[in-house]
Copies of this chain bind each other. A is one copy, B any other.
Amino acid sequence: MKLICLDLEGVLVPEIWIAVAEVLGVPELALTTRDVPDYDHLMRGRLAVLDDRGITLPQIQAIIAKLAPIDGALTFLRRLRERYQVVILSDTFEQFARPIMRTLEWPTLFCNTLIVAPDGRITDYRLRLEDGKRKSVEALRQAGMRVAAVGDSYNDLSMIDTADTGVLFRPPERICRERPDLDVAYGYDELDSILSRWAEAP
């Protein structure tokens, strides 16, 4: 049985924190692990900014609900789910992802969780696992699935390397240079062809 693991941001939807930063006009929220390599440090910074400005989860969810999928993503995903099993593996938080999952017609999602106070303030976050993408692919293979993984950036390489096959989707040029062994797709039709070829191989 074939299962495709898809990264969410950059593969199906735009980067969530960047969209939130733009709409709120708070550029600090657009920092990423490229700017602040320590993830926990980055998240503590983000939560402090939200707290300082009194920005609550419902406000952020309202912004995210307006975030359209990347052109062609929904059609691609619908066609994929008719033929194979699909799990979205993301480093985002389930409360952020929910409005997006609605738009994407409720695919299964493995991600992380925010801790939210009754008044809507985000007080903390909880990683499901350290190195969650890689461990999720490992677990899905242990569940007897043949797994393909699709991602766009450095944090997807461990899941791609753990899967039976992996594809880079619209990656930065630097990753392509560093990983000439990996298939690369720049559009959804191309990505679908690569995945179908793998899945239908004997």
Which one of A13-21, A82-90, A148-156, A172-180 contacts B? A82-90
Verify if A106 is at the interface (C-beta below 8 Å from B).
Answer: yes
Kindly list chain B residues whose C-beta atoms are within 8 Å of the C-beta of A108. Answer: 85-87, 107-108
Overall SS of chain A's interface: mixed
Residue of B nearest to A106 (CB): B81
Q: 8 Å CB contacts to B: which residues of A93-115?
A: 94, 98, 102, 105-113
Is B1's CB under 8 angstroms from A111's CB? Answer: yes
A77 nearest CB across to chain B (Å): 10
Verify if A75 is at the interface (C-beta below 8 Å from B).
Answer: no
Verify if A128 is at the interface (C-beta below 8 Å from B).
Answer: yes
Is A1's CB under 8 angstroms from B143's CB? Answer: no
Beyond A105-B105, A105-B106, is A136–B144 a contact (Cβ under 8 Å)?
yes
Q: B-facing mask of A109-145, CB < 8 A → 1, else 0? A: 1111100000000000000110010011011101111
Kindly list chain B residues whose C-beta atoms are within 8 Å of the C-beta of A140. Answer: 139, 143
C-alpha gap A128/B85 in the complex (Å)? 14
Among B1, B128, B144, the residue within 8 A (CB) of A94 is B1
Kindly list chain B residues whose C-beta atoms are within 8 Å of the C-beta of A145. Answer: 110, 128
Top 3 closest pairs, chain A to chain B, by CB: A128-B144, A139-B143, A129-B144
Is B109's CB under 8 angstroms from A85's CB? Answer: yes
Q: 8 Å CB contacts to B: which residues of A156-195?
A: none
Among B94, B102, B105, B143, the residue within 8 A (CB) of A136 is B143
Residue of B nearest to A86 (CB): B108
Is B139's CB under 8 angstroms from A110's CB? Answer: no
